[in-house]
Amino acid sequence: MSQGPPASIEAVRGAGLSKGYGEGDRRVQVLAGLDISVQLGEMLAVVGPSGVGKSTLLHLLGLLDRPDAGTLELFGTDVGSLSAAGRARWRNRRTGFVFQFHALLPEFTLEENVAMPMLIGGSPMREALAAARELLGAVGLEPRRDHFPDQLSGGEQQRGAVARALVAGPELLLADEPTGNLDAANAESVFEVLRRLHVSRGLTSVIVTHNEALAGRCDRILRLVGAASGDACSRT
Amino acid sequence: MGRPSVTVLRLLVGRYLLGLRRRTHVAAVSAVSFTAMALGAAALVVTLALLAGFQSTIRQQLAVSGVHAVLRAKVGSTLPPGDWLERLRERHGELHVRSIASGAVWCVSEGGAVPAVLAVVDTLSGVEVNRVLAARLGAGVGAEVTLATPRATLTPLGPMPLRRRVAVDRVAEARPGEDRAEVRVPLALGAALLGGAAVETVELRASDPSRAFSVASDVQTELPDGVEVISFRELNRPLLAALALERVMIGFGVALVMAVAALNLLCNLALLAAEKRADVALLGALGLEPHSVRRLFLILGIGVGALGGVIGTVIGGLTAVVLDVTRALPLPRGVFVVSHVPFRVTAGAIAVVLGVSLGAALLASLAPARAAARRDVLQGLRYE
């Protein structure tokens, strides 16, 4: 187990987080008693071999899944007791997601895709689209706002996904291998956008990646080595 | 912030239903469900209109050509004496009142001998046979017919049936459902054949056929003790009941088309939910609550079903009206009482079809909507 560096304000605080899948002999323990702390405004990279539990950790932090054991506090709130609807509202208002796949919904324009979290939150269409346009400008895609996903390159789609993750003004950004499907140039472009918006919007970010070079540009690296070795982590 | 998810649900439903600009596969699936519901609704409307048309025509024919009420003795076979019948005639000038006595008779002509009911009608001046008897005898207007009653008269050859040779003055149209051979004769001839005919029944018929159902209640309070009135509905109960049953059963049978359309809708919604599993999971990750996912698929299903039902109802209704007005489906005269296939669109039928469409769509949408709402977001995100 390892802890993040001591800091005055914790955005994420997980203690003894455990998660496994399957039953009986087939049960696979992915996380076993992991402690994690992410400071407010910190950009944390989570690295480690496949199957070690990086995405599982991200899903727990994003309230997409519940831990089998352990407690999780986000911005001082114990989120373990939230209902399904409460967790959905939390995700909508306080968390931004960037996934490796499922970047954008195919039936909607880039602008509509980016506006989607605000629309889900109940914002009026006009307000949501205005915010989407602003974010698209920030990621350099304003001219492409009326395009559909299949008319965009992989890098553009992922930058659009970054814009969508941030449109509702979340405090926590979670990215699951956001550059995993991209070539080096596009990966650099997407990471640069992430880094810039992280700073300009005062976000707390957790980025799962296999890309050691990009991880090295984050504030800190959390290196998972697996439940078998006690979720041993190291920090940089 | 507005009402949670209303705008996004409207956007999702619109895009999935109409398939605007992109992803026409989803729209094609919606179109198939929509078409099935519309066809089912149209078929149901046309069928109900056809049944209503035929039944309305039959009722009308029944009212035009039939008796609207019958007075008869509560006990025994003859009505009580007195001037009550005359008073009834005076008070209800709008009613045709016919006193009738009846008995059995053999009708003999060149075409053979046919047993028939002999009806003595006080308002008749000549001999009238109904079309059933005319057909069996092969006799028309002007034909000579011998009427023989069981009442015997003594002759040099011994007792012989009482006989009268008469000419047919009129062939009366058969009433719907009438299959009894009947000959109607004036009072004097009837009294001779039956030996002093006492009035057994009185037939009442309103000048306005639309009053057929109310004649019995109109005269009910003016009848003496010992006389009962049989209403138009009671007189024709078997036929009216058969018509009602026919309407229900055929309507139910055609409503199965709606059931098939609803099953099609269910399958297509399930297909849509499976195809959109990853997208719905992504929406869930972005904060769309499970109940909103359920609403999304309910709105999709009910939207397709209700829209299909409404459009189908309009198409079916218009088709029925056009077929009726243009008399597009003629019927051979002499075989049917109407010259063309009649259609009658009623508000009740429209309400039934719309209700069935909406109900079927709701039932078909429940299971896919529930399944989609309960699906785990993470499983959906892992789904490729």
Asked whether the beta carbons of B18 and B27 are under 8 A apart, the reply is: yes
Give the chain A residue nearest B293 (alpha carbons).
A120
Alpha-carbon torsion (A211, A216, A220, A225), positive or negative: positive
Is the residue at B350 inside a domain?
Answer: yes
**Owning domain of residue B165:** 80-199
Task: Examine the pLDDT at B196 and tell me if it is beyond 80.
Answer: no
B118 and B192 in a single domain? The answer is yes
- The pLDDT-based confidence of A42 (bands split at 50, 70, 90) is very high
In a domain, B129, yes or no: yes
Asked if B289's CB is within 8 angstroms of A108's CB, the reply is: no
Instruction: Examine the domain organization and report whether B132 and B164 are in the same domain.
Output: yes
Residue B219 forms part of a structural domain? no
A125 to chain B: nearest residue by CA?
Answer: B7
Q: State mean pLDDT over B36-45.
A: 92
Q: Give B347→chain A minimum CA distance, Å.
A: 40
Whose structure tokens read 């079927």? Answer: B360
Selected for mutation to probe chain B from A59, A110, A119 (highest B CB count within 10 Å) is A119
Interface check B28 vs A, CB under 8 A: no
The encoded tokens of residue B121 equal 């009608």
Give B282-310 pLDDT, tens digit per residue.
999 999 998 899 999 999 888 888 889 99
Per-residue pLDDT tens over the stretch B136-183? 888 888 889 999 887 777 777 777 788 889 999 999 877 666 788 889
CA distance A164 to chain B (A): 9
Contacts of B21 in chain A (CB under 8 A): 148
Checking if the pLDDT of A118 tops 60, the result is yes
Quote the pLDDT of residue B177. 67
Same domain, B90 and B193: yes
* Calpha distance B184→B98 (Å, rounded): 12
What's the CA gap between B44 and A72, in Å, rounded?
A: 59
Residue B124 reports pLDDT greater than 50? yes
Q: Which of B225, B224, B203, B227 is nearest to B215 (CA)?
A: B203
Best probe of the A interface among B18, B30, B283, B286, by most A CBs < 10 A, is B286
Alpha-carbon distance B230 to B220, whole Å?
A: 10
CA distance A207 to B120: 105
Cβ-based neighbours of B364, under 8 Å, separated by 6 or more: B262, B263, B265, B266, B269, B301, B305
Please give the average per-residue pLDDT across A209-235, as a whole number: 75
Cα–Cα distance between A30 and A59 in angstroms, integer? 12
The answer on pLDDT for B312 being more than 90 is yes
pLDDT at position B220: 81
What per-residue confidence (pLDDT) applies to A227?
A: 59
B142 belongs to a structural domain: yes
Contact between B130 and B174 under an 8 Å Cβ cutoff? The reply is yes
The H or E element that residue B317 is part of is: helix B290-325
3-state secondary structure at position A160 = helix
* Residue at B225 is within a domain: no
Please name the residue of chain A whose CA is at the shortest distance from the CA of residue B6: A122
Evaluate whether residue B144 is within a structural domain: yes
Tokens of residue A26, six digits: 């087939």
pLDDT of residue A163: 93
Which residues on B lie below 8 Å from A56 (Cβ)? none
User: Above 80 in pLDDT, residue B195?
Assistant: no
Is the pLDDT at A106 greater than 90, yes or no? no
pLDDT higher for A229 or B52?
Answer: B52
What is the DSSP secondary structure assignment for residue B81, as one 8-state letter?
-
- Same domain for B286 and B357? yes
Whether residues B28 and B141 share a domain: the answer is no
What residue has token string 């890098």?
A155
Which residues of chain A lie closer than 8 angstroms to B288, CB-CB?
88, 92, 120
Distance CA B384, CA B374 (A): 18
Pick the residue with more confidence: A50 or A181?
A50
Mean pLDDT across B120-131: 86
- Return residues 184-243 of B near A (CB < 8 Å): none
Q: Which CATH number fits domain A10-229: 3.40.50.300, 3.40.630.40, 3.40.50.2000, 1.10.3210.10?
A: 3.40.50.300
Query: What is the chain A residue with the closest CA to B25?
Result: A107
Tens of pLDDT, residues B219-228:
888 888 888 8
Q: Give the whole-angstrom CA distance, residue A153 versus residue A189.
A: 12
Phi, psi (deg, nearest 5) at residue B234: -70, -40
Q: The complex's ipTM? A: 0.88
- Has residue B40 got a pLDDT over 60? yes
Last residue in a domain, options B182, B199, B216: B199
Residue range B67-95: mean pLDDT, rounded: 82
pLDDT of residue B316: 95
What's the maximum distance between 2 C-alpha atoms anywhere in chain A?
Answer: 54
Q: Mind telling me how many Å the CA of A6 is from chain B's nearest CA? A: 31
Residues B21 and B98 occupy one common structural domain: no
Query: What average pLDDT score do residues B25-42 get?
Result: 84
CA-to-CA separations, A59 to A67, A99, B94, B135, B287, in angstroms, rounded: 10, 11, 87, 89, 14
Chain A partners within 8 Å of B11 (Cβ): 108, 112, 119, 125
- Residue B210 is given by DSSP the state G
Asked if residue B23 and residue B97 are part of one domain, the reply reads no
Place of tokens 């429209």: B350
Q: What's the confidence (pLDDT) of residue A1?
A: 42
Q: Do A120 and B381 touch (CB under 8 A)?
A: no
* For residues B315-328, average pLDDT: 93
The domain total for chain B is 2
Nearest to B282 among A105, A123, A148 (CB): A105
Q: How confident is the model at residue B128 (pLDDT cuts 50, 70, 90)?
A: very high
Q: Give pLDDT, residue B5.
A: 64
* B287 near A CB under 8 A: yes
Q: Measured between CB atoms, does A102 come within 8 Å of chain B?
A: yes
- B257 shares its domain with B304: yes
Give the DSSP letter of residue A6. -
Nearest to B8 among A85, A91, A116 (CB): A116
Other CB atoms within 10 Å distance of the CB of residue A133? 18
Structure tokens at B245: 């049953």
Residue B158: in which H helix or E strand, if any?
Answer: strand B158-172
| Most confident by average pLDDT, A179-188, B121-130, B279-288 | B279-288
Contact partners, residue A231, CB within 8 Å, separation at least 6: A1, A31, A32, A33, A34, A53, A224, A225
Which of A62, A97, A122 is nearest residue B4 as measured by Cβ atoms? Answer: A122
Establish if B110 belongs to a structural domain. yes
The helix/strand/coil state of B178 is: coil
Helices B277-285 and B290-325, packing angle to 10 deg? 130
The tens digit of pLDDT for each residue in B201-246 reads 888 888 888 888 888 888 888 888 888 899 988 888 888 888 888 8
Cβ count within 10 A of residue B234: 12
Query: How high is the pLDDT of residue B10?
Result: 84
The dihedral built from the CA positions of residue A110, A113, A118 and A123, taken in this order, carries a sign that is positive
Q: Quick one: pLDDT at residue B22?
A: 55
Q: Give the closest residue to B147 by CA, choosing from B131, B164, B159.
A: B164
Q: CA A76, CA A46: separation in Å to the nearest integer?
A: 22
Domain closes at, from B199, B225, B259: B199
Token output for B235: 């007189």
Q: Give me the helices (H) in B155-289, please.
A: 187-194, 215-219, 232-235, 237-275, 277-285
Domain boundaries, chain A: 10-229
Residues B371 and B248 placed together within one structural domain of the fold: yes
- Residue B14 in any domain: the answer is yes
Query: In degrees rounded to 5, what are phi and psi of residue B312?
Result: -60, -40
Which residue of A120, A126, A152, A177 to mutate against B (max B Cβ within 10 Å)?
Answer: A120
Q: Which residues of A touch B280 (CB under 8 A)?
A: none
Q: What is the pLDDT of residue A4?
A: 45
Do the Cβ atoms of A88 and B290 come within 8 Å? yes
User: Binning pLDDT at 50, 70 and 90, where does residue B198 land?
Assistant: low
Q: What is the structure's pLDDT at B169?
A: 92
Report which residue type is found at A132. Answer: A
**Lowest mean per-residue pLDDT among A159-168, B16-25, B102-111, B362-371:** B16-25
Residue B41 amino acid letter: A
**Domain identity same for B58 and B84:** no
Going by pLDDT thresholds of 50, 70 and 90, the confidence category of residue A130 is very high
A228 has a pLDDT exceeding 70: no
Q: A130 and chain B: CB distance < 8 Å anywhere? A: no
**Interface contact A123-B2, CB threshold 8 A:** yes
B261 shares a domain with B142: no
pLDDT, mean over chain A: 87
Hey, is the C-beta of B139 within 8 angstroms of any chain A C-beta?
no
Find the radius of gyration of the CA atoms of chain A: 17
Classify the C-alpha dihedral B166-B167-B169-B171 as positive or negative: positive
Residue A4, min C-alpha distance to chain B (Å): 27
How many Å apart are CA B122 and CA B120, to the nearest integer?
Answer: 7
Show which of B142, B168, B199 is a domain's final residue.
Answer: B199
Question: Does one domain contain both B105 and B137?
Answer: yes
Burial of B71 (0-12, 13-18, 19+ CB in 10 A): buried
Contacts of B291 in chain A (CB under 8 A): 85
How many contacts does A have with B, using Cβ atoms within 8 A? 95
HEC string for A217-229: CCCEEEECCCHHH
Does the beta carbon of A82 lie under 8 angstroms from any beta carbon of chain B? no
